[in-house]
Amino acid sequence: MARVYNFSAGPSMLPEEVLKTAAAEMLEYGETGQSVMEMSHRSKEYEAIIKQAEADLREIMKIPDNYDVLFLQGGASTQFAMVPLNLMTGSGRADYIITGQWANKAYKEGARYGKARIAASSADKTYSYIPKTSRADFDPEADYVHICMNNTIYGTKFHNLPDTGDVPLVADISSCILSEPIDVAKFGLLYAGAQKNVAPAGVTIVIIRRDLIGKAMEITPTMLNYATHSENGSMFNTPPCYTIYIAGLTFKWIKKLGGLEEMKKINEKKAKILYDFLDSSKLFKGTVVPEDRSLMNVPFVTGSDELDAKFVAEAKSAGFVNLKGHRSVGGMRASIYNAMPTEGVVRLVEFMKKFEEENA
Ligand SMILES: *Cc1c(COP(=O)(O)O)cnc(C)c1O
């Protein structure tokens, strides 16, 4: 069997070690005589799995004790509604920075529940940069400021956080969670769908400062109230058991690797290989201003739709799959999440060099 190098933006590659462990434990987990998929979520074996997953995530992300970790369903997209339903209840106003489609979707959902305001945007240049802001750009009475930390489609990332003063910062970290250390204490709430850097689709991780829980709007459905899940240890109803188990294996993999400091070093080295090539290439070029480049999603173009399509097709035949850019931007995008080995990027760059020579 030949595994391909999968550059998909999500769902995306999982560490081979995680897949192998899951395969080995597929028919029988421990001495239970059953798969994790078949277990009661109320069993002591499963309780140990979810508790350990939370403990490991807290350890690798250094999550302070005054934050809750919730394992929810509905993807990051459900958080676009849960955040306003639960937090937009003081002044009823919230500020959003629009850095791409996901940020915009979050803003539009927020606008359904209160006064959402665009505090800054990079729509003027196809979201190829992160807008600079200062504290004066934000409503000091807003209930929160929302950002999308890493913009999966456009390949930008907030390398510096906006200064929001006392207003809680809420961030969608779906495509950069666990890619490098993050100072959780700087945020009121962090959320991430699992299918980019953690596990298969199906679990959404929410990290929320506890004082922000319990203020939801009256109309909030029980299942969309953070308090419901906080009070029940993410077990109000059946959690996405198997996905949480895989997430736990990924957390262990990161721990073994040396944690997020080490992960960051690997990711920086990996991304540099690709960015250095893009900066020196006569055919390919990156689409993002250098200071705002993402470590995880690297969009690039040749300038010709025809050559782009030819490249994507030839790359696929050579074992480099899912390099087609998002339908809204075109060109190519290499998503190089944690599980993409450095060798995958080295081999991709070799292939790009060869393509450049052949198509000069
Ligand atoms: C993929 C992605 C989403 C959407 O996630 P779902 O789990 O499909 O709802 C939202 N935000 C960002 C930044 C993403 O990368």
The pLDDT tens digits of the residues spanning 26-61 come to 999 999 999 999 999 999 999 999 999 999 999 999
Contact 297, 9 (CB under 8 A): yes
Stretch 311-339: mean pLDDT = 95
- 172 noted as active-site residue: yes
Instruction: Answer whether 39's CB lies under 8 Å from 241's CB.
Output: yes
Are 254 and 267 in contact by the 8 Å Cβ rule? The answer is no
Question: Could you tell me which residues are beta bridge partners of residue 324?
Answer: 332
Rounded-to-10 torsion of CA 23, 52, 266, 191: 110
| pLDDT-derived band at 2, boundaries 50, 70, 90 | confident
Count of CB atoms situated within 10 Å of the CB of 24: 10
Q: Find the catalytic residue in 157, 196, 252, 270.
A: 196
**Is residue 220 within 6 Å of ligand 1 at its C-beta?**
no
pLDDT score at 265 = 98
Determine the distance from the C-alpha atom of residue 290 to the mean position of all C-alpha atoms in its chain, rounded to a whole number: 21
Q: Which residue has a Cα nearest atom 12 of ligand 1?
A: 174
Q: What is the pLDDT of residues 243-266, one digit of tens each?
A: 999 999 999 999 999 999 999 999
Q: Which CATH number fits domain 259-359: 3.40.50.300, 3.30.360.10, 3.40.50.1820, 3.90.1150.10?
A: 3.90.1150.10
Looking at residue 360, its pLDDT comes to: 83
- What is the structure's pLDDT at 1? 66
CA of 105 to the centre of ligand 1 (A): 10
Q: Whose CA is nearest to atom 8 of ligand 1?
A: 75
Q: Report which ligand 1 atom has the smallest distance to the Cα of 153.
A: 15
| Dihedral sign (CA 164, 167, 168, 172) | negative
**pTM to 2 decimals?**
0.98
Q: Is the dihedral of CA 11, 56, 182, 90 positive or negative?
A: positive
Q: Note if 102 is an active site residue.
A: yes
Find the 165 Cα to ligand 1 centroid distance in Å. 27
| Nearest Cα residue to atom 7 of ligand 1 | 75
The verdict on the CB of residue 76 being under 6 Å from ligand 1 is: yes
User: Does the CB atom of residue 10 touch ligand 1 within 6 A?
Assistant: yes
Domain 16-257 architecture: 3-Layer(aba) Sandwich (3.40)
The one-letter amino acid code at 306 reads E
Mean model confidence pLDDT for the chain: 97
- CA–centroid distance, 340 to ligand 1, in Å, is 19
pLDDT over threshold 90, residue 288: yes
Find residue 293's DSSP bridge partners. 156
Q: 249: closest CA among 5, 11, 26, 2?
A: 26
b/e 36-48 (16+ beta carbons within 10 angstroms → b): beebebeeeebee
pLDDT tens digits, one per residue of 156-170: 999 999 999 999 999
73 lines ligand 1 (CB under 6 A): no
Domain extents in the chain: 16-257, 259-359
- Decide if pLDDT at 329 tops 90: no
Neighbours of 217 (CB within 10 A): 16
pLDDT of residue 328: 80
Q: What is the pLDDT of residues 170-198, one digit of tens each?
A: 999 999 999 999 999 999 999 999 999 99
What is the Å distance from ligand 1's center to 85 Cα? 19
Which residue in 55, 56, 36 sits closest to 46, CA to CA?
36
pLDDT score recorded for residue 41: 97
- Confidence class for position 302, pLDDT limits 50, 70, 90: very high
**In angstroms, what is the span from residue 88 Cα to ligand 1's centroid?**
21
pLDDT of residue 220: 98
| Range 50-56, long-range pairs (CB < 8 A, 24+ positions) | 50/233, 50/234, 50/235, 50/239, 50/241, 50/244, 50/248, 52/248, 53/244, 53/245, 53/247, 53/248, 53/251, 56/248, 56/251, 56/252, 56/255
Q: Do 102 and 151 meet the contact criterion of CB atoms below 8 Å apart?
A: yes
- Choosing from 71, 98, 102 the residue with most ligand 1 atoms within 8 A of its CB, the one to mutate for a pocket test is 102
* Tokens, residue 95: 């500020």
